[in-house]
Amino acid sequence: MNIAELVRSRHTCKAYDAQRPLSEEQLAQLQEILRYSPSSVNSQPWHFFLVTSEAGKDKLVPALTEHNMEKVRSAPLTVVIATKTELDDDHLQALLAQEDLDGRFGGNEEAKKGADGARRYYVGLNSTSAQKQQEWMARQAYIALGFLLMGAATLDLDATPIEGFFPEKLDAALGLTELGLKSVVVASVGYGSEQDFNAALPKSRLPAEQVLTRL
Ligand SMILES: Cc1cc2nc3c(=O)[nH]c(=O)nc-3n(C[C@H](O)[C@H](O)[C@H](O)COP(=O)(O)O)c2cc1C
C-alpha cells in the first residue's frame, strides 16, 4: 500500500449511500482501530459509541449542525468519541490491572509500581486544572479520530470527521453526563453516494515548503 496515494485519495465524504451497510467484519475492524489507538501514558480516557441503528440516529441527529444531519442519517456508522469527565483513581487502577493482565510487567512488582508512578506523574502534569485535564483527554480522542479516518481509508471506506455538533445537546441525548463522559468529536463511515460532491473535487493543501521543514 502506498500511503502517499491513500492520503491524497481519501476525502471528507459529504453524502452517503444509505443502501450500503457495513459488514460485521468491517465494523469489527473499525472497533479494533479505535480500541488500539495510542494515547499518552496509555491513558485510554475514552469511550466510543458506535451508532448504527435508526433509534441511535434519532438521538444523535438533532444534536448536529444542520449541514451534518443528512450525512449522519444516511451513513451506516457514526462514531461518537467521548472522554471521561475526570481521569480518576479508579481508572488509573483499572489501566494498571489491565497492563498486568496483558503481561506488561512479567510478574515484576517493581516494574508495575514504576509504570503506575510514571503514569501518575504525567497525568499530574496535565491535570493542573480540571480544564487542562479535559483538554489533554480531548487530544487523545483526536488521535483515535485520526486512526479511524486512516483505518476507514485503508478499508476502502469513506469517512467524515465531524465537529459540527452541539456537545451539550449530544451529551444530553446519549445520557453521557450520567456515565461520567463528555462528547469530544464525531465521525461517520460508510460508502459515498453519487451526491458526494467532494469526491470529484481536487484536494487542496498548503505547499510542502510552507508546512514542512527538514532540519
Ligand atoms: C476535526 C475535524 C472536524 C471536521 N468537521 C466537519 C464537519 O462537521 N462537517 C464536514 O462536512 N466536514 C468536517 N470536517 C472536514 C474538513 O473540512 C476537511 O477534512 C478538510 O476540508 C480537508 O478536506 P479532506 O478531508 O477532504 O481532505 C472536519 C475535519 C476535521 C479534521
| Position 109 confidence tier, pLDDT thresholds 50, 70, 90 | very high
CB 143 within 8 A of CB 37: yes
pLDDT of 1 over the 90 cut: no
Residue 208 lies in a domain: no
Residue at 215 is within a domain = no
Domains contained in the chain, number:
2
User: Is there a single domain that holds both residue 79 and residue 179?
Assistant: yes
If asked whether residues 59 and 120 sit together in one domain, one would say no
Q: What is the pTM of this model?
A: 0.98
Residue identifier of the C-alpha nearest atom 9 of ligand 1: 162
Percent of the chain with pLDDT over 70: 100
What is the CATH number for 139?
A: 3.40.109.10
Gap from CA of 195 to ligand 1 centroid (Å): 17
Reported as a single tens digit per residue, the pLDDT across 70-107 is: 999 999 999 999 999 999 999 999 999 999 999 999 99
Q: Which three cell numbers stand for residue 6?
A: 491513500
Distance 215 CA to ligand 1 centre (A): 30
Q: What is the mean pLDDT of residues 139-145?
A: 98
- 50-59's contacts with Cβ under 8 Å and 24+ in sequence apart are 50/77, 50/78, 50/79, 51/77, 51/78, 51/79, 51/80, 52/22, 52/27, 52/76, 52/77, 59/173, 59/174
Does residue 53 sit in the same domain as residue 109? no
The answer, yes or no, to whether residue 201 has pLDDT greater than 80, is: yes
> Could you list the active site residues?
14, 71, 163
Contact 118, 41 (CB under 8 A): yes
Residues 60 and 15 grouped into a single domain: yes
- CA-closest residue to ligand 1 atom 18: 12
Identify whether residues 69 and 96 lie together within a single domain.
no
Q: What is the pLDDT of residues 4-53, one digit of tens each?
A: 999 999 999 999 999 999 999 999 999 999 999 999 999 999 999 999 99
What is the span of the domain harbouring residue 112? 88-126
